[in-house]
Structure 1
Amino acid sequence: MTWVQPVSVHIAVLSVAKDPKHPDHDAIATAVERATGAGHKLVEQATVKDSEPAVREQLTRWVTDSNVDVVLVLAADSDTASSALKPLVSSVLPGFTDLFRWLAFEEIGASAMLSQAEAAQCGQAYVFVLPGAIGAAMDKLILPQLDPKTTPKNLVSSLPRLKARTAEAVPTAIHGEKTQGGAGLPPKLPAMPSVPTRSQTKTGANVIPRHRAVDDPPTKPIDLERLQKEIARSEANDQSTRRTDLAKLLPKLPPGADGYLEPDAD
């Protein structure tokens, strides 16, 4: 049997409360005891108000910190933790939500379907939003995935790859600002498509057609007053049935100004 060295993961615990002065101490103690009891290290702990800007600001700080591997969000009384996480997600772990609801169903029954548990890879860390059942989630879902002996797959084995690559661009939280796209985040600008220039497309399918430039000065505007007088004079002379030659009244357009170019004489 191959011996696998245990890995000590750096964990941050975020408690979300209606009143930050009165966090759920029991939930925090459960998460910390489970994590440290498995040999992992608690590197950060904080309590924030249950609001998207506050939660997202703290998450942004941790998922861009190379010293944080896993973030546990204790959100039993939160209505905003899951939505605060979404703009920061690089890759979703959908199986966690399904398994968490299955565990919660054994404890609270049908109310488990309303659970807003989330798990995702954000930047250089994994984030777990736990709306309850913290002990069961730690023992049966999270801690086994932080153990390299768990086969055939586990999350802890991918941590070195996350840390080795450059931290992904995570939107910077703006304190106190609420936007339609998400509280606490600036709007994302769409990527501009690459357009070939003339120097890049001399031949091939992307050739930019050459148009003959019309250097003639702009034509004079049509004299509407003169045109109306000619029509009135024609009607007065009982010549209304005779067609007025409007071409004589219109200014002559220079070659190419009407969009038509005469072919070059060979």
Structure 2
Amino acid sequence: MTSHSQSDTKPLNLAILTVSDSRGEAEDTSGQYLEDQVLEAGHRLMVRRILPDDIYLVRALISEWIAAPDIHAVIITGGTGFHERDSTPEAVQPLLDKTIDGFGEEFRRLSQEDIGSSTVQSRAFGGLANHTVIFCLPGSTGACRTGWEGILREQLTSTHKPCNFTGLILRKPDRPVHRLKETIGNRAER
């Protein structure tokens, strides 16, 4: 990893979502870990939420964050396994303009060191929508640590070479949210 001072990097605005049917704020060690790392890296945390594992609730919130001009990146923890209620991929993938295939591949490769062949049960993935980068990680704090330390910290740092995601996501159009809502409302009236 190339060493750069935080003053050289461009801070991003991030949102963190924990998807869980059983965790409240006090039990959300994964979300707290991610918040701590985001802030330590010099980024701004715009919002942190916890939602139950419900396709439509997750999809609605992520859609709102994708449309928001002041959110550059979203990190989701939880709901990426194979239990019947795990639905983060089903909620988020239809919203993506492009997938980041290498993210899930690299996450599973890194996870293999810790959990062996059980890594095949991870449906971690990443994608891009409206110049917003979205990363979906498993719900354990260890998995979030693997994803942050092994991939996200560097890929969300503008000075990381040879490439990172900041150039793509900082080009997000500056559209006030109220104008977006007005446009949607005007279309519905036609």
Alignment TM class, shorter chain as reference:
0.7 to 0.9
Q: How does 1:192-211 map to 2 (within 5 A)?
A: none
Asked whether the 8 Å contact 2:18–2:78 carries over to 1, the reply is yes
Per the TM alignment, residue 157 of structure 1 is displaced from its structure 2 partner at its CA by 1.6
CA deviation after TM superposition for structure 1 residue 125, in Å: 0.8
Larger relative contact order (Cα-Cα within 8 Å, sequence gap ≥ 6): 2
Q: Aligned-pair distance for 1:20?
A: 5.8
- The answer as to 2:167 corresponding to 1:160 is no
Look up the match of 1:180. Answer: none
SS in 1 for 2:136: strand
Amino acid at match of 1:50: D
3-state DSSP of counterpart to 2:173? helix
When Rg is computed on C-alpha atoms for both structures, the one with the higher figure is 1
- The aligned residue for residue 57 of structure 2 is 54
Given candidates 81, 90, 96, the residue that maps to 2:88 is: 81
- How does 1:28-107 map onto structure 2 within 5 Å? 28-75=31-78, 79-107=86-114
| Uncovered stretches (5+) of structure 1, i.e. residues with no partner | 170-266
How does the TM-score come out when normalised to structure 2?
0.79
CA distance 1:146–1:36, change in 2 (3 Å): same
Map 1:188-227 to 2 at 5 A. none
Identity %: 22
Question: How high is the TM-score relative to the length of structure 1?
Answer: 0.58
CA distance in 2, matches of 1:88, 1:23: 30
Offset of residue 103 of structure 1: 1.4
Aligned residues: 167
Q: CA deviation at 1:22?
A: 6.3
Measure how far apart 1:139 and its partner are: 1.4
Q: Distance in 2 between matches of 1:137 and 1:19?
A: 22
Q: For residue 149 of structure 2, what is the aligned residue in structure 1?
A: 139
How far apart are the structure 1 equivalents of 2:30 and 2:176? 33
Letter paired with 1:161: R
Unaligned runs of 5+ in 2: 181-190
1:89-128 maps to which residues of 2 (within 5 A)?
89-128=96-135
| Corresponding residue of 1:256 | none
Q: Relative to total residues, which structure has the larger helix share, 1 or 2?
A: 2
CA contact (8 A) 1:69 1:125 kept: yes
Residues 148-207 of structure 1 show CA distances to partners (whole Å, capped at 9, x for unaligned) of 22112110122232336999x9xxxxxxxxxxxxxxxxxxxxxxxxxxxxxxxxxxxxxx
| Cα pair 1:34 1:135 within 8 Å, conserved | no
Higher strand share: 2
